[in-house]
């Protein structure tokens, strides 16, 4: 079983020709609400992979915004451990998606800030704990330490970007970051590979958008070029990657196989609007991968050079 502990938001999404600059007003041409939040998104991605039973520890307000979030999670087959935050609203996110599929996001955490160390359910039977940084940092650190002490594999998606205490990094088994988050954690000059290696985690993964991803484990490097798709909305592509990666690792896939599965799922999530609504099933990922050739030597060499691994 996989336990995800993290945020749940209701996303308010406006599509527009471009993301407004400071002081600029842009007329949008579509508006919808979608269940979101990094914790909830990653739990849905885990559950849709079909690899393992997925549980989610989350905090919600006693308001109408909580209802569609809970419905979406239950529809995906996620088992809920809900903290009802008295006096706090359910978390929300305000998202502008451009016609070029880029997005800008502002999050109001609300009830997500109510999660505390004592809320973590018993970990017996769980193989992996998946965490993010949209809930209080001291709570995230407490969960990671409790999981490590009980032999549960700790996966941390260090997003949104923020500096992390050394005692938290010391109990992380798998760290997933994008390029900006990697620079926040490893700010000294160097290549992507050097920055990732400096962190000293047992397994580090950096996602590179359309380029793909790079991973380091046990002194070895793995490269997975991205899959070309006509993106509609990149919202939650990273969350889809994290949830799918954790699910694949929980079923004992090799790191190379897990990266390929996660990259394919992240690419497919860009084809539909919204966060949880865009996430593919394992059957969709498998069907997509059957149409994709193995990475070419040119693609691998290009990615190797970008990461600073070229000889």
Catalytic residues: 239
Strand partners of residue 11: 34, 93
Axis-axis angle for helices 255-269, 237-250 (nearest 10): 150
Strand partners of residue 155: 130, 174
Edge to edge, what strands does the sheet with 203-207 contain? 79-84, 54-60, 2-5, 128-131, 153-157, 174-178, 203-207, 212-217, 220-225
Question: How many other C-beta atoms lie within 10 A of the C-beta of residue 37?
Answer: 32
Do residues 203 and 255 lie in contact, with contact meaning Cβ atoms separated by under 8 Å?
yes
């Amino acid at each position: 079983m996989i336990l995800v502990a993290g945020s749940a938001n209701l996303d308010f999404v406006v599509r527009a020709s471009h993301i407004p600059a400071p002081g600029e007003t842009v007329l949008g041409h579509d508006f919808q609400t979608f269940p979101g939040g990094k914790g909830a998104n990653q739990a849905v991605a885990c559950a849709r992979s079909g690899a393992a039973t997925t549980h989610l520890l989350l905090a919600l307000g006693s308001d109408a915004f909580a209802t569609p979030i809970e419905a979406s999670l239950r529809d995906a087959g996620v088992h809920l451990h809900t903290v009802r935050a008295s006096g706090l609203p359910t978390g929300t996110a305000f998202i502008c998606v451009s016609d070029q599929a880029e997005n800008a996001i502002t999050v109001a955490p609300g009830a997500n800030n109510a999660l505390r160390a004592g809320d973590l359910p018993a970990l017996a039977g769980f193989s992996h704990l998946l965490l993010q940084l949209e809930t209080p940092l001291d709570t995230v650190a407490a969960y990671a330490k409790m999981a490590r002490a009980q032999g549960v594999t700790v996966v941390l998606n260090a997003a949104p970007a923020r500096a992390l205490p050394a005692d938290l990094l010391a109990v992380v088994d798998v760290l997933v970051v994008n390029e900006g988050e990697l620079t926040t954690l490893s700010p000294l000059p160097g290549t992507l590979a050097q920055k990732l290696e400096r962190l000293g985690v047992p397994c580090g993964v950096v996602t590179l958008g359309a380029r793909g991803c790079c991973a380091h484990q046990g002194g070895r490097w793995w490269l997975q070029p991205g899959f070309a798709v006509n993106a509609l909305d990149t919202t939650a592509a990273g969350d889809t990657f994290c949830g799918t990666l954790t699910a694949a690792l929980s079923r004992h896939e090799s790191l190379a196989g897990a990266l390929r599965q996660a990259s394919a799922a992240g690419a497919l999530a860009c084809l539909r609007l919204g966060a949880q609504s865009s996430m593919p099933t394992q059957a969709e990922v498998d069907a997509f991968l059957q149409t994709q050739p193995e990475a070419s030597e040119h693609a691998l060499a290009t990615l190797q050079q970008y990461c600073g691994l070229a000889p």
